Amino acid sequence: MDLLEHQGKEFFASYGLPTSPGEVAFSSDEAVAAAERIGYPVVVKAQVHVGGRGKAGGIKLGSDADEVCRHAEAILGLDIRGHVVGRLWIEKAADIAEEYYAGFTLDRSARRHLGMLSAQGGVDIEEVAATAPEAIARIHIDPTEGLTAEACRRWVAEARLNPAVTEQAVDLLSLLYRAYVEGDADLVEVNPLIVTGDGRLHVLDAKVTLDGNATFRHPDYAAYAETVERDEREQEAHARGLQYVGLDGTVGVIANGAGLAMATVDIVDEAGGTPANFLDIGGGANADVMSAALEVVDGDPAVRAIFINIFGGITKGEEVARGIIEALGRVDIASPIILRLDGTNAAEGTEMLRPYLSERLRLAPDMVQAARTAVTAAAAGEGPS
């Protein structure tokens, strides 16, 4: 679960990290009212679930009511890489002497937490990472040991921050690590982490991804979830209990098992097509689940063909066939369906399906053939137009 900047700062502040006072605003009037309470100069900041807002014109300094009003009007409604701004964060402007970068995330292959720290933070950090990776000091942290003050001090020295802020940096990074671990975050990033004109380290931006599977430990995270923009298809699918992820292609995918569903998405791509989604219907393939899956996938207006990929293990071929036959009796599906049925009792299932086969429901002998047929059908625009 990705947090908006102001939520990330609230999260950080709850662990004692230094952030600036600010207020949320949804209109230029609210922005000005907030700025009047906070005191000028302020920064008007777009609140969207995407970075690079500064470069896109979503972050502006305002030194009086008139300026704040104009900036708020310009930023509200702005499209930042597909995210339309509907919410602003008005914050007391900081005086910046230096811009650093700091972050923690999990390095799965190393089975350690990974800390990254650089004296060259700010809006060009991606470029720094690409062209001068040595400018980012990395530290691997054993989760059972945690980040010791000693290791943290070495890490700070390696990053070549201004020596005057070393002790502050050690303290701040320890708090940031604590927020990351105790808050069950997958990622915390502060860019820029600034040194102010009077020499204080301060959090100026916040990127936080919380582990959605840990929300049961943090009832207060429910408030964060409300602002997460969800794909309409995903909302519908999740409401029906399906494991669905929306993608932007034209071949709908239904498979049993997460691994097979991922392989199906890959093979559609391999066959030259574009998957419209990932959908794992799990172990059972009864008519209820199959109807729901077909309706959700077919309800996506971009879908031109549906590839059902089933490998029966415990689920037998006859059950799958019965599920599909019953589902097709219940719901009207606009796109042609290409089915690959393999595994336990596939032959029996295939026999049951034979009377129902047509241009609308085709059986493919294997996964590769099924992918090719589905991709060709989608490209030919056989589905709804």
Binding site for Mn ion (CB under 5 A): 191, 205
With CB under 5 to 8 Å by kind, the binding choice for 8 among Mn ion, ligand GDP, none is: none
Residue 53 interacting with ligand GDP (CB under 6 A) = yes
Question: Which of the following is catalytic: 189, 236, 318, 319?
Answer: 189
Total of residues contacting ligand GDP (CB under 6 A): 16
List alpha helices for the chain, DSSP H: 5-13, 28-38, 65-75, 125-131, 149-158, 166-182, 222-225, 232-239, 258-270, 287-298, 317-330, 346-353, 367-379
Chain positions 286 to 315 lying near ligand GDP, rule: CB under 6 A, are none
Of 327, 344, 338, 328, the residue nearest 363 (C-alpha): 338
| 359 is an active site residue | no
Between residues 191 and 264, which has the closer beta carbon with respect to ligand GDP?
191
Query: Is the Cα torsion angle 81, 84, 89, 94 positive or negative in sign?
Result: positive
Question: Which of the following is catalytic: 100, 101, 224, 244?
Answer: 101
Between residues 45 and 340, which has the closer beta carbon with respect to Mn ion?
45
Q: Which of 51, 62, 252, 317 is the binder for ligand GDP (CB under 6 A)?
A: 51
- Beta partners for 113? 106, 141
| Measured distance CA(265)–CA(145) in Å, rounded | 40
Please classify residue 204 by burial: count the beta carbons closer than 10 Å to its beta carbon, then call 0-12 exposed, 13-18 middle and 19+ buried: buried
Cα 367 from chain centroid (whole Å): 29
User: Euclidean distance between the first and final Cα of the chain, in Å?
Assistant: 35
Q: Which residue is nearest to Mn ion (CB)?
A: 205
Chain positions 325 to 364 lying near ligand GDP, rule: CB under 6 A, are none
With CB under 5 to 8 Å by kind, the binding choice for 96 among ligand GDP, Mn ion, none is: ligand GDP
| Measured distance CA(286)–CA(278) in Å, rounded | 19
Q: How far is the CB of 204 from ligand GDP (least distance, A)?
A: 5
Q: Which of 204, 337, 339, 377 is the binder for ligand GDP (CB under 6 A)?
A: 204
Q: How far is the CB of 375 from Mn ion (least distance, A)?
A: 40
Residues forming the site for ligand GDP (CB under 6 A) = 43, 51-54, 59, 93-94, 96, 99, 122-123, 191-192, 204-205
The residues carrying an active-site annotation are 101, 189
